[in-house]
DNA sequence: ACAAAAGTGTTTTTCTTACACCCATGT
DNA sequence: ACATGGGTGTAAGAAAAACACTTTTGT
């Protein structure tokens, strides 16, 4: 990370030696997930210009001169979702996509983020995007650029992190029921979980959730009112809450257990 | 990741609208680990110029115009270690560091990688670095730039991935004994493991290791010759091999179990 | 009364842990 | 003979999985 910067470049101060060094455009791309009506939804924007005009893409934008990628991501998130208190949302760096031709126009390196939030309001297509919309994960065709890979990577990562972190509470409002929390797991993983066991597991992990103490709330009109919880201070989950059958698509063979 | 590129910039083709967009320098930084003589070692280079002249730093360098960050990382890895068959080493993107002032000279965004390899040869200080050396993890003072954070993040990540992936075999030569594999875990985690249990766990995971069939080998001069194994095709580890006590420093409180 | 959702209890099975013991080799 | 590292066995404990059952609400 040192040495070799060309002379005569706007970026390069004195004292660098004159080797190859290309300036890149740096952007952020966001895979924003929410759980709405028992479905995993993703925030997409419709592109206005070429290339990929009319195609859906992940929201994102350029990193500004004095911004970190994290700050840029949070700013873009606020702009695209129309939310003011983006501070509560979980934002996590995924990885950086830097294939030379990932953008046909120029050399763009993109730092991808995954963001999670509770049932978020309708997107209002802020900024440049022609339209912004929540779409159920898997219900749409190919996205622009390499956004299909980014989105798939984000989904994998979220699914994996649910196992060994307390991330799931980021999908829930400040106060939530254990049923809602369980639905987050079931929705992201696409599998049903045993309620009694899930409950025990969550409650047995200190700092995962803490009882709100307050009154119970009705969940879906019918049934017994559920107790309310809020997120605890823990971030890691030990021992982990493993999904049945392990991560999708990385198994060598059998092993049903 | 779309729209808003300024006019009059060398990078920008026609058809972009004239908003803010700064060119950034993009580099890769490598945290290269190996296990040598029962210690976790890191490859460091000594800086020749200011800033941080004379200080140790992680190897790295600029991403070339037609290179992805992954390719750049592998190229730098080959240059700095002096290895020719870098293709076998595990290389994994960690995350991107983009704080505006992480490099005092200019705006540099760095994509960090973690690399693992079996007992690697002496580094030969290739490229620009004044010197390159293997140093035991934790045996050196503050590194240049934000490389302390990068290295710490890399170590955390490696430790965590040993739990639920077959990554550990990347620290071993093509053929290795279970004792060597166990030492990888013990060295990275800094804890002792029960040999019989470790053995059972590894062998019970299909695709983790497969017997070489060939003859046994002496490990350290003394003791019974150990059977040889090679890495299997599996990448994930289900159920995981949890380290005793959970990840360092992320526990909310007790929970000895 | 019944459906729906929350919550409790119990049994079975599986995995982990701890530790005792034998094996093969070099000194 | 004994130290050293490899390999096997086994029994106690903890955790996960499966499932039966009670509670509280709305219709």
Mean pLDDT of A89-111: 96
Q: Is B2 in Cβ contact with A47 (below 8 Å)?
A: yes
Q: Does A222 touch chain B (CB under 8 A)?
A: no
> How distant is the Cα of A149 from the closest Cα of chain B, in angstroms?
14
A3 versus A165: which is more confidently predicted? A165
Mean pLDDT of B50-70: 94
Residue A222: per-residue pLDDT: 83
Q: Which residues contact A40 (CB under 8 A, 6 or more apart)?
A: A33, A34, A136, A137, A187, A188
d(CA B64, CA B67): 5
d(CA A72, CA A66): 10
pLDDT tens digits along B15-48: 444 455 678 999 999 999 999 888 999 999 999 8
d(CA A168, CA A181): 7
Q: How many CB atoms lie within 10 A of CB B122?
A: 10
Residue A7: per-residue pLDDT: 37
Q: Strand C: which nucleotides have any atom within 7 A of a protein Cβ? A: 3-10, 14-20, 23-27
Q: How many CB atoms lie within 10 A of CB A216?
A: 12
Indicate if the pLDDT at residue B96 is higher than 80.
yes
Residue B36: per-residue pLDDT: 87
d(CA A185, CA A169): 10
Copy the structure tokens of residue A8. 């005569």
Copy the structure tokens of residue B226. 């150990």
Q: Which chain A residues contact residue B24 at CB under 8 A? A: 11, 23-26, 63, 109
Lowest mean pLDDT among A181-185, A237-241, B122-126, B150-154: B122-126
Indicate if the pLDDT at residue B250 is higher than 60.
no
Percent of chain B's residues with pLDDT above 90? 65
Q: Which residues contact B223 (CB under 8 A, 6 or more apart)?
A: none
User: Which residues is A222 bridged to in the sheet?
Assistant: A220
Pairing between β-strand B60-62 and β-strand B229-231 as defined by DSSP bridges: unpaired
Residue A119: per-residue pLDDT: 82
Q: Is A98 in Cβ contact with B95 (below 8 Å)?
A: no
Nearest Cα to Cα of residue A32 among A40, A24, A43:
A43
Indicate if the pLDDT at residue B204 is higher than 90.
yes
Q: Is A144 in Cβ contact with B27 (below 8 Å)?
A: no
pLDDT tens digits along B160-170: 999 999 999 99
CA–CA distances in Å: residue B13 to residues A32, A36, A145, B17, B240: 30, 40, 17, 10, 49
Indicate if the pLDDT at residue A58 is higher than 50.
yes
Confidence of residue A14 (pLDDT cuts 50, 70, 90): very low
Residue A64: per-residue pLDDT: 94
pLDDT tens digits along A220-241: 678 899 999 999 999 988 889 9
Mean pLDDT of B237-246: 87
Orientation of helix B147-164 relative to helix B178-189, angle to 10°: 140
pLDDT tens digits along A142-167: 999 999 999 999 999 999 999 999 99
| CB within 8 Å of chain A, chain B residues 128-167 | 128, 144-145, 147, 164
Spatial contact of B129 and B59, defined as CB atoms under 8 Å apart: yes
Kindly report the CA angle at A70 between A103 and A106, in degrees rounded to 5?
A: 15
d(CA B222, CA B230): 22
d(CA B85, CA B69): 19
Confidence of residue B60 (pLDDT cuts 50, 70, 90): very high
Residue A200: per-residue pLDDT: 97
pLDDT tens digits along A114-145: 999 998 777 666 555 568 899 999 999 999 99
Q: Is A253 in Cβ contact with B2 (below 8 Å)?
A: no
Round and report the angstrom distance from CA (A214) to C1' (D24): 17
Cis status of the peptide bond prior to B42, with omega within 30 of 0: no
d(CA B154, CA B162): 12
d(CA A244, CA A110): 34
Residue with tokens 């890399």: B154
d(CA B105, CA A228): 52
Residue A15: per-residue pLDDT: 40
Q: Does A232 touch chain B (CB under 8 A)?
A: yes
Q: Which chain A residues contact residue B1 at CB under 8 A? A: 27-29, 57-58, 60-61, 103, 108, 110, 145, 147
Q: What's A174's DSSP letter?
A: S
Indicate if the pLDDT at residue A97 is higher than 80.
yes
Mean pLDDT of B188-217: 93
Residue B228: per-residue pLDDT: 95
Residue A246: per-residue pLDDT: 76
Indicate if the pLDDT at residue B77 is higher than 50.
yes
Confidence of residue A196 (pLDDT cuts 50, 70, 90): very high
Lowest mean pLDDT among A117-126, A177-186, A240-249: A117-126
> How distant is the Cα of B64 from the closest Cα of chain A, in angstroms?
6
Q: What does pLDDT average to over chain B? A: 85
Q: Which residues contact B113 (CB under 8 A, 6 or more apart)?
A: B28, B29, B30, B31, B69, B70, B73, B91, B92, B93, B94
d(CA A168, CA A161): 9
Residue B130: per-residue pLDDT: 64
CB proximity A174–strand D (7 Å threshold): no
């Amino acid at each position: 990370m040192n040495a070799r910067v060309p002379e005569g470049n706007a970026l390069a101060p004195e004292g660098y030696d004159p080797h190859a060094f290309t300036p890149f455009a740096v952007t952020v791309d966001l895979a924003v997930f929410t759980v709405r009506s028992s479905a995993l939804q993703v925030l997409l924007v419709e592109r206005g210009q070429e290339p990929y005009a009319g195609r859906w893409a992940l929201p994102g934008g350029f990193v500004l001169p004095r911004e970190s990628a994290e700050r840029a991501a949070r700013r873009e998130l606020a702009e695209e979702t129309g939310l003011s208190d983006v501070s509560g949302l979980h934002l996590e760096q995924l990885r950086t996509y830097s294939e030379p031709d990932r953008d046909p126009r120029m050399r763009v390196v993109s730092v991808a983020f995954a963001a999670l939030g509770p049932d978020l309001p309708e997107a209002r297509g802020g900024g440049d995007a022609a339209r912004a919309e929540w779409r159920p994960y898997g219900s749409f065709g190919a996205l622009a650029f390499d956004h299909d890979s980014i989105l798939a990577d984000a989904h994998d990562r979220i699914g994996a992190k649910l196992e060994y972190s307390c991330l799931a509470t980021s999908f829930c409002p400040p106060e939530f029921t254990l049923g809602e929390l369980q639905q987050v797991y079931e929705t992201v993983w696409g599998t049903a979980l045993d309620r009694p066991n899930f409950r025990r597991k969550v409650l047995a992990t200190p700092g995962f959730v803490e009882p709100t103490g307050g009154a119970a709330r009705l969940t879906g009109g019918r049934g017994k009112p559920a107790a309310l919880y809020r997120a605890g201070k823990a971030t890691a989950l030990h021992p982990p809450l493993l999904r049945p059958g392990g991560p999708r698509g990385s198994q060598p063979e059998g092993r049903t257990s």
